[in-house]
Structure 1
Amino acid sequence: MDTATRPATGDLTFRDAVATDVDALVELIESAYRGDSSRAGWTTEADILEGQRIDPRGVAEVIESPVSRLLAVERDGALVACCQLAHRGDHAYFGMFAVSPALQGAGLGKVIIAEAERTARATWGVPEMHMTVISVREDLIAWYVRRGYRRTGKTTPFPYGDERFGIPQRDDLEFELLVKPLA
């Protein structure tokens, strides 16, 4: 079922993001991870990365890609969260997950990730969801493990020197692959 016509889950509405959402999505993602505003929530990366988390071009590319979807999550018509789903052959990739810092810690993330998993299964029939998390984010990794994701121990380097991903404040950053069966 297309998320544009999917009924609300609780008081949330899920839909595919469109080009006119780009600026609001960048603002949401930045507020959840970077700068002082991100400190209102628990997903902040402000102590390990400065600079931008995403730019308008990066968000637009996800929206326009034929193999991905960017789910916009609204409550009472206001954008409160988002997440990327990408079809990567035998699995889906989950990324660009952001919840408004003022709403973090109230169970919203659990509902959104469950809907993202349902959407990936329904859209592409994939048996697994993959994601990468900065390995020093133990609290965030633990949250995903409680949602059924498994640490694989597989890592990829952080793109040091590419300021599109932020300005690292430490020299030990890398991404760890987490995997969850969707069956």
Structure 2
Amino acid sequence: MESAVTAAALTFRDATAADVDALVALVESAYRGDSSRTGWTTEADILEGQRTDPEGVLAVIDSADSRLLTVERDGAVVACCQLEHRGDHAYFGMFAVTPGLQGGGMGKLIIAEAERLARQTWGVSEMHMTVISVRDDLIAWYERRGYRRTGRMTPFPYGDERFGIPQRDDLQFELLVKPLV
């Protein structure tokens, strides 16, 4: 586990098309395959295949209603997250931290900055996200950050390999919500 990181050690900026390959590699490393097992956010036991692809990342970068926040430390991309304006709330997604840097407090800083930016940029009162419902450890982490489970589920896109190849038949997404006041 790395020592605690400070916000001053991180640089936040919006992603550009030049970042696509680095961001795809980051997201894949945090969630899929053996490299993801270095951190605690791995989905390798429940999903194989890809987590995202260059087209999906570029679509987020190019969307007028979203931004892909890129986080650097010492000039290297170490984390990212998607913020999307959806009326009275913002959606938080595509959150990834380099596996070897997980557990040192970086995620807490990034989510706090994302919430601040969503309030400041769009004036939204809530942040929404969806998490695979069987990810109890990840849901508990978000609950410690003030998110609450809603019990509102949406189906996992079985058969669409852009989202991975499920290794179990009980996957679904649960909506988590946090007031931004």
Category of TM-score, reference length = shorter chain: over 0.9
Amino acid at match of 2:32: R
Aligned-partner SS, 2:68: strand
1:42-68 residue CA offsets vs partner (Å, 9 max, x unmatched): 000000000000000000000000000
> The residue matched to 1:79 in structure 2 has which SS?
strand
TM-score (structure 2 length as normaliser): 0.96
Aligned partner of 1:24 among 22, 25, 38:
22
**1:49 aligns to what?**
47
Q: Distance in 1 between matches of 2:8 and 2:142?
A: 22
Hey, what does 2:87 align to over in structure 1?
89
- The structure 1 segments of at least 4 consecutive aligned residues displaced by more than 2 Å after TM superposition are none
Q: Aligned residue for 1:167?
A: 165
Task: Determine helix, strand or coil for the equivalent of 2:13.
Answer: strand
How many percent identity over aligned positions?
81
What aligned pairs does 1:91-170 form with structure 2 within 5 A after superposition? 91-170=89-168
How many matched pairs?
176
Offset of residue 10 of structure 1: 1.8
Residue by residue, what CA displacement relative to the aligned partner does 1:109-162 show, whole Å, maximum 9, x if unpaired?
000000000000000000000000000000000000000001000000000000
Find the residue that maps to 1:29 and give its secondary structure: helix
The runs of 5 or more residues in structure 1 that have no matched partner are 1-7
TM-score (norm 1): 0.95
Aligned-pair CA distance for 1:169: 0.0
Aligned counterparts of 1:9 and 1:49: Cα–Cα separation in 2 = 32
Letter in 2 for 1:86: E
- The CA deviation string for residues 155-179 of structure 1, in whole angstroms up to 9 with x for no partner, is 0000000000000000000000000
> Mind listing any 5+ residue stretches in structure 2 that lack a counterpart?
1-5
